[in-house]
Every structure is written in C-alpha cells, then in structure tokens.
Structure 1
C-alpha cells in the first residue's frame, strides 16, 4: 500500500471543488502527488476529500454528492469544506460547462473559459435569480463576489506566460495521459469532425439518440483550426440551477449578459469561498448537447 504523507488541515490553502466524478478524476490526474486523508474532519462535514499538492501548494479536492448538482449543492460542499479546512485562502470551481460562441469569442468544444470580472460583475452572473414581471420581463437581483486579487493577478501573469511561451495545456495533458494511460480512450480529444455547432434556431430531434440525422446544412460556418490545442478564454460565466439546453435562449442571454459560458454551480460558491471558475466546454448549451466531450473538457479545465 502506498505510504502517503499526512499534513495538518491548516497546511491546505486551496479548495478545489468539482461537480462530477469525472471532473474529480481530471483534477486528481493533474496533482503532483496525493496525500493521506484528513485525520481530523469536522463531524458536520459530509464531504469526501482527495488531498494533494500542485508544486508548493497543498490542495483540497471535493466533489458534489452523486446526483446532487446545482447552486445549492455547491454552497453546501463549500461551507462544509471550510469547517474542516479553516485556513483555505481561496477556491477553484473546476469542471465542464456549455459554450456560448460569439463574434468576439470563437469558443469550441474542449476550449477553456475562465471567469473574469466585468464592469458590473465579479465574473459570474446568476442568470435565473431575480424577479419575474409581466410581459416576460425578468430583473436579476443581487451580486456575486469578485475573485480575490491574488487570483486575478496570477491570471494576468498566466496570460503573459501563455503569450510568450505558448500553450502549456497540451503538455500537461500528455503528462497526465502518460501517468494514467487508462484515461486515454475516454478523456482525450474527440475529433474536430465531432465538434458540431448548429444555428441557434435549429433544434435537435428529440427522438434521435445522436446528431447523425440532424440537418448538416444547418451547421454554423466555421473555419477549421490548424490543431486541436484548447484555447483559453477569459470572460463572464452565467450560473444557475437550470440546465441551459436551448440555442435561442443561449444566444439571447449571451448578448444580454455578455456571457460566453453556462454552468450550474459557481453562483452557490462565490459568496462563501472566494474563487475562480474554470470551465472546459463540453457542449454548446443547446438541444444538441450530449456527454461525448465531457471527459476531455474536464481534463482541459483541470490542466
């Protein structure tokens, strides 16, 4: 049995939260090493943890309970994590999300979107929380915290590193695949031919199990990329308890809110544990969404 090091809970400074087991798998694949389970866990803390380190940083990874997704579940996991690991400085909400491509952000499957504050937002907007008025009017209320300055300055530094030295994500993926070869068949790139973006007004035939019978003439015209390396975008992320799977609604909210990604957990965490949200794009938040790209998108986000 592997002899894992054991550290006091006070030595952990970063909380990494995932919604799905495949996201936690990707997170563990990126660790430089795992640690022993916490010896002293708060009795009110129901989370199961994976502890480890990334370079000099000690990290706590937790996953939402099986079948329990959304804003509320993320809030519970984050709250309980802080009861056991009281010295956490900030969090990372890492996993998959739905892309909202636009003229300014040519987001594709496998790309990564990182939350970045806007003029009136901390980087995450809870799109389904507010007041409903007549005539279809909906007013969003409340605001979510910005990521801490240390994360934002690090994000800016990583951007300059990316521009000067190139995209490191492919190297990190290759390293993970070499250490965990059993991940390769499912957690690798799914091929540009399987990256299909249909026009927002064309809905999937709900009786079909795949998009093979969807009208290919309704695909949005896009130039093929020269490689399969994931592109990292920084921008606003929409979060809510509702699964976004309607192209026309995605387009409307994308324009209205300026968001380029939809997900279901971050809004529950932002005001509890100051965090950055990192999402690998696994679908286009429309009726054509399926699970094929989820494992690879989880890996790119973790990388």
Structure 2
C-alpha cells in the first residue's frame, strides 16, 4: 500500500493557502465603487489610449457591471486620486452622448466630484494667442465668457453679432484654483515644460510622437476655394522651425462647443468676435457642462478650417492627457472630496 508523502501533502497545502491568500489580498486591494472621486471622459481612441498611459496604477472592476451602467471603464490611480476613465460610445452627436455618459457615471460612482474631458480640439490662432498644434487649451472663465460657450445656443444677428440664448455652467472651483498653480509652471519663462516628463510615458508608441512641421490656414480659409476675406488672408503658413523648437504652451480661455461640427464660415465669424475670444472648437464639451461639474482640456490637433490634417491628433491627445495628469497631481485628494456637487441648470434636448 502506497502512503502519500507527508511533505508533498504539506507543500500542496501551503501552496493552496498561498493561492487563497493571494485571491483574498487581490480582492481586498480593489478599491470600492464609492472610493472613486474623479471621472475622465475621452471621445476618440487616441485620446483614450493616451489617457490610460497617464495612470500610475490600474485596478480591477469594483462591480460596475452590476449597476446597469453601459459605460466601459478603466479604473486607476493618479497620485492620490482614484480615476474612472471611459471612452464615449459611438454616435453622431457627441455632446448628447457625453451628457448621458456623465449621468451614468454619476449614478455609478456616488462620491464622484468632477469629470475631466480630455481630448483633441481645433485651434484658433490669433495675434493675442499663438495657438499651435500640439499646444493645450484649457476652458476657463474670462471677463466675457464662462470658459465653454455653446454655439448652438447663440442666435445670429445682423452685422456678424450674436445673441446668447442659453448658458453653460462654469468649471468646478477646486480645479480653477489648481489651474492657477499649473499655469505658472507651464508658461513661466524660467520653467521647464511639464509635459516633457509626462509624455515619456508615450515613448514606446511611435504614432504618438511629435510631428516635424505645422501648417496654418486662417480661420476663414476655404480649401480649394476663395476665402471670405481678402486674397492676402487666403494663404498657407509653414511654421516648421518655430513649431518644432518651442515647447508645448498652455492657453487659457474660451472653448466653443456644439452638437455638430461648425462649418468654416461659422467658425470664421466666431473667430472674429472679440467678446468671444475663442481659442478652440470641439463637439463634446457642451454636453458635459450642465450634466455634471466638468473641466475641459483640449490638445490642439488641427486648426479651425476645412483643411483637416490628422497628423497631429495623436500627439495632441498626449499633451492634453499630460496636462490633465499634472492638474490632478496639483489637486489634493481632500480637495476633490470636498468639492460640492452641482445640480444641472439646463437640460440639453435629446438627453435623458
């Protein structure tokens, strides 16, 4: 009769115990749903991929599949903050989808304090703001605007003027305070470019590296046709040397957003409105601001004209994600927790 080896049985028992402990430890280390305080929304795959690279650590799903939430999340940590990151579902009207995504996210995470919308937008260069591809535009209030203006909410008047027919909520105060700290770090004359360190997380992804040159069309330029202005404005500028030598700049002001992409003529009219002082265009931000306290960060992947060029889009997604990471590292965790929730003031048509 063959008797089992005592030491073999003991070793098997210890191995089983180690497995049980490992499973228990893994389960115990998964942060619960109510520990997440920051939402992070992207509209494009490039934005999503770049944003995921900014996480310090990833976690398993804490159980949102049981909450009837259609959003698919990546769960992670940046500094002291636990972040729930998602990519918008496909659809024609990104602003409406973003609004519903924010509401689903708010239901799933009861302690969520704010949402970062991190992605790519079309820049609007001006004599006051040398907005270039690869730069960052942060939607913050000015003396004449609330940071995000919805061009669907404006009625055209004679003489190129507009009448405001609705307002979007301003960004959360806790993030506006953090911006004041980050602003000097990014654009100070003696400061290094903070994005450089964060962008190292993208070094192994060739498609996300900085392109070599930049092309600039004026906002009223129509590709293949005449501009609405004089012939001297219908031109192509090559800013290769300046674009590739100067670091990433962050610009602060108004982002114009709408349910649909504005045509080149509409963009040109807005670009010439001194009260608006638009730095960037997008199609997502308008859906978020009145759905949940949100903060909009855009990397400039192109310019506001009809000549679309996607070569800078992935890099711009990386610069926006790097700024968002730096912003969260500036905000103390208790600041996020103490930020009061704000109720939606305006209901967007087509949202639930």
| TM norm. shorter chain > 0.5 | yes
| In structure 1, C-alpha distance between the alignment counterparts of 2:254 and 2:102, rounded to whole Å | 21
Distance of 1:88 and 1:54 partners within structure 2: 15
What's the counterpart of residue 113 of structure 2? 89
Please report how far the alpha carbon of residue 131 of structure 1 lies from its aligned counterpart in structure 2 after TM superposition. 4.2
Residues 291 and 222 (structure 1 numbering): CA distance in 2 closer, same or farther, change over 3 Å? closer
How many residues end up aligned between the 2 structures?
285
Offset from partner CA, 1:161-184 (integer Å, 9 cap, x none): 33263211012112x124xx1x22
Alignment partner, residue 153 of structure 1: 177
Decide which of 172, 177, 182 is 2:202's aligned counterpart. Answer: 177
Q: Distance in 2 between matches of 1:269 and 1:54?
A: 22
Structure 1 unmatched runs, 5+:
207-216
1:124-273 alignment to 2 at 5 Å? 124-131=148-155, 138-162=162-186, 163=188, 165-174=191-200, 176-178=201-203, 181=204, 183-184=205-206, 186-192=207-213, 195-205=214-224, 218-220=235-237, 224-225=241-242, 227-246=245-264, 248-256=265-273, 257-273=276-292
Deviations 1:246-276 (CA, angstroms, capped at 9, x unpaired): 1x43232023221110000111111122121
Structure 1 residues 224 and 250: alpha-carbon distance in aligned structure 2, compared to 1, 3 A threshold: farther
Give unmatched runs, 5+ long, in structure 2: 1-25, 226-233, 323-352
CA distance in 1 between counterparts of 2:93 and 2:281 reads: 14
Give the superposed CA RMSD.
Answer: 2.6
**Higher Rg:** 2
Q: Are residue 63 (structure 1) and residue 87 (structure 2) matched?
A: yes
1:136-171 Cα offsets, whole Å, 9 max, x none, are: 875331111111111011000112233263211012
What is the CA deviation profile of residues 80-105 of structure 1, one whole-angstrom value per residue up to 9, with x for unaligned ones? 00010111111111100000000111
Q: Relative to structure 1, is the Cα distance of residues 132 and 114 closer, same or farther in structure 2, using a 3 angstrom cutoff?
A: closer
In the alignment, structure 1 residue 77 sits paired with structure 2 residue 94 = no
Q: Identify which of 114, 135, 139 aligns with 2:138.
A: 114
Q: Retained in 1: the 8 A contact 2:149–2:167?
A: yes
Superposition misfits of 4+ residues, deviation over 3 angstroms = 40-44, 130-138, 199-202, 220-224
Structure 1 residues 47 and 68: alpha-carbon distance in aligned structure 2, compared to 1, 3 A threshold: farther
Deviation at 1:229, TM superposition (A): 2.3
